[in-house]
Structure 1
Amino acid sequence: MAGTIIARARRDSGLSQRELARRAGTSQPTLSTYETGGKSPTLAVAERIVNTSGYDLELTPRVGFTRTPGARGEPYAVPDRLWRLDLADAFARVVLPGHLHWSGPSREFDLGDRGDRGRVYEIVLREGEPTDLATYVDGALLVDLWSDLVLPRELRAAWEPVIVRYRRHDA
């Protein structure tokens, strides 16, 4: 696991193993061994290497999902907490896969456009599996859009406690 994190941070920073090792005060062969999982660094060493590459190690809460039936028995995935997407993903241009956007022709949605984002969120909340939700929906942006979304009553009721937990005020 640490090796994967170190390798990803190094690749994303654009550094070679040799350069990251030099900057982090370790050897290239040792860094390579960490990245391939041949040896595990201590948490302090992993943090130093990752920080040197321009990233931070951080704890993120795991999101759990339950299934709630809709009026016609269709299952809705409902999380126990909200999550944040990387900004590039939260505002990306996306084409939803067929299992989500089955009722219409394929089209590109611009998540940077509030109207398009709302439409994607409505589709994904209605039709999506947990992986779809985690891919297309940003928690803070969902809270911001919540009162504007057109959703089935059962879906809104199931998600409402999660949304209310993160709302500072009701609009």
Structure 2
Amino acid sequence: MTGDSATRPHGYAKPVVVPETLDHLRGPTTGVVDLPRHLKWSGNPHYDLAQPGRMGDLYRTVLNEAASPDDLHSYLSRDSLIRLWPTMWLPQAVRHAWEERFPELRLVPRRAA
């Protein structure tokens, strides 16, 4: 597979969007992030990244709801994703699609949440 892609894993209702490279992930790591309605269609779309756990909530939402690679590039940061990866709960199809493209994510040691 080359380039940014969206795949629809067997048995998973929606496509999983995965970037071409983790280096394209240059989203914010501080401040308050307001997600657009297509990413956060229910509940509070404001994420204060200074509050404990909010960055993980933001990443989980974006990984599950991304409609395009631009969503990933705009809201995720490579280093933060790698740091959070072992503790994030994600649907198996989402985790598999990302780890298939980026085997290095499988190697990040799992920690307790």
TM-score (structure 1 length as normaliser): 0.54
- Matched letter for residue 53 of structure 2: G
- 1:4 counterpart residue number: none
- Matched letter for residue 98 of structure 1: R
Matching of residues 88-167 of structure 1 within 5 Å = 89-104=28-43, 106-128=44-66, 129-165=68-104
- 2:15 counterpart residue number: 75
The structure where helix makes up a greater share of residues is: 1
- Matched letter for residue 82 of structure 2: V
Q: How many residues get paired?
A: 106
Q: Report the CA distance between 1:132 and its aligned residue.
A: 1.1
Cα gap change, 1:167/1:140 in structure 2, threshold over 3 Å: closer, same or farther? farther
Query: 1:90, 1:111 within 8 Å by CA — same for their partners in 2?
Result: yes
- 1:85 counterpart residue number: 26
Query: 1:143, 1:163 within 8 Å by CA — same for their partners in 2?
Result: no
Q: Report the CA distance between 1:163 and its aligned residue.
A: 4.4
**Unaligned runs of at least 5 residues, structure 2:** none
Q: Report the CA distance between 1:168 and its aligned residue.
A: 6.6
Matching of residues 51-66 of structure 1 within 5 Å = 64-66=3-5
- 1:38 counterpart residue number: none
**Unaligned runs of at least 5 residues, structure 1:** 1-62
Cα gap change, 1:166/1:126 in structure 2, threshold over 3 Å: closer, same or farther? closer
Q: Report the CA distance between 1:92 and its aligned residue.
A: 2.5
The whole-number CA distance in structure 2 between the counterparts of 1:133 and 1:164 is 18
- Matched letter for residue 77 of structure 2: D
Residues 150-169 of structure 1 show CA distances to partners (whole Å, capped at 9, x for unaligned) of: 11101100101444426775
Secondary structure of the residue that 1:90 maps to in structure 2? coil
Query: 2:12, 2:93 within 8 Å by CA — same for their partners in 1?
Result: no
TM-score (structure 2 length as normaliser): 0.78
**Percent same amino acid at aligned positions?**
34
Cα gap change, 1:136/1:154 in structure 2, threshold over 3 Å: closer, same or farther? same
Q: Report the CA distance between 1:110 and its aligned residue.
A: 1.6
Instruction: Tell me how large the CA RMSD over aligned residues is.
Output: 2.4
* Largest Rg, 1 or 2: 1
